[in-house]
Amino acid sequence: MIRVDKKGLKAVAIELASSLNIGDVIYLNGDLGVGKTTFASYVIRWLIGPDCYVTSPTFNVLQQYRGRGLTIFHFDLYRIRDSNELVELGIEDAASDGISIVEWPELIREYWPRNRKVVIDLVEDLGNSRYRNINILDHRKPK
């Protein structure tokens, strides 16, 4: 478990982003407002470019970002109740054609092969709301 402030959260996101490959997925777990979209935006901007405008996919469910020869699929599955809806979203393309970031991944925990997943748990530090505790479980096989 790592305890970080906003600057530290960005550093962790960039370190992770630098290790991602096509087909990889980040599962972001945490309560509302804990920083899942902020973490995702740091990853996306590092991969696509600092001028990339990143928005929360909460209402659209999916935002796609393209640049530097990559496609990033940013899912927010908070409003999804049936896993059949995921096919309509293009989740099959995401699993094979790009790098995916999934907020609220409960419906699709087993969709990606285990050796392509990075699971991140973000928890607000109870002692100081400016800090987050991060647990990272990287299932990817070393190259």
Q: One digit per residue, pLDDT tens: the chain, 143 residues?
A: 899 999 999 999 999 999 999 999 999 999 999 999 999 999 999 999 999 999 888 788 889 999 999 999 999 998 888 877 877 777 777 777 899 999 999 877 666 777 788 999 999 988 888 999 999 999 987 65
Instruction: Give CA–CA dist 63/76, Å, rounded.
Output: 9
Both structure tokens of 58 = 């909460």
Sequence spans of domains, the chain: 2-138
What homologous superfamily does CATH list for 2-138?
A: P-loop containing nucleotide triphosphate hydrolases (3.40.50.300)
User: Quick one: residue 137, left, alpha or beta (phi over 0 = left, psi -120 to 50 = alpha)?
Assistant: beta
